[in-house]
C-alpha cells in the first residue's frame, strides 16, 4: 500500500505531518491493505495562514483499489487533525460498503 501526501503552501511541518498521517492511515486502513494499491492524501488550508476560518482545513483522501476505479472522501474541519480523522472515518465506511458489496472484506 503506497501512500502519497500532498500539501499546499499554507501547511507547515510537512515532513512530521506526512509521517504522522502515513502512520495513522496504515494503522486505520490496515485491514484493507490487500485491496488498496495506493492512497493519495491532499491537505490544504483554504483560507491560508493569513486568515482563520471555521472549517477551513481540508483533507481529501483518494484510495485506489486493485483493478478498480479510485474512490474518494473529503472533509473540512477547524483543525487539520480533525479533517484527517473525519475523512479517514468516512473512507473506512466507504471501503466497508464497496468491498462488502464485492465480498472482498
Q: Which one, of 87, 105, 68, 92, lies nearest residue 21 by Cα?
A: 87
Q: What is the pLDDT of residues 51-104, one digit of tens each?
A: 566 788 999 999 999 888 899 999 999 999 999 999 999 999 999 998 888 776
Determine the Cα–Cα distance for residues 97 and 103; give it in Å rounded to an integer: 10
Could you tell me the pTM of the whole model?
0.87
Residue reference for cell 476505479: 69
Please state, in angstroms and as integers, the Cα–Cα distance from residue 24 to each residue in 9, 18, 42, 99, 100, following that order: 22, 10, 15, 21, 23
Amino acid at each position: 500500500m503506497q501512500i502519497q501526501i500532498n500539501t499546499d503552501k499554507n501547511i507547515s511541518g510537512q515532513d512530521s505531518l506526512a509521517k504522522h498521517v502515513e502512520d495513522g492511515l496504515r494503522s486505520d486502513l490496515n485491514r484493507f491493505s490487500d485491496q488498496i494499491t495506493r492512497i493519495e492524501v491532499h491537505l490544504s488550508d483554504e483560507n491560508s495562514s493569513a486568515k482563520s476560518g471555521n472549517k477551513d482545513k481540508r483533507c481529501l483522501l483518494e484510495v485506489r483499489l486493485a483493478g478498480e476505479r479510485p474512490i474518494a472522501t473529503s472533509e473540512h474541519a477547524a483543525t487539520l487533525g480533525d479533517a484527517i480523522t473525519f475523512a479517514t472515518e468516512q473512507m473506512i465506511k466507504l471501503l466497508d460498503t464497496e468491498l462488502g458489496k464485492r465480498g472482498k472484506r
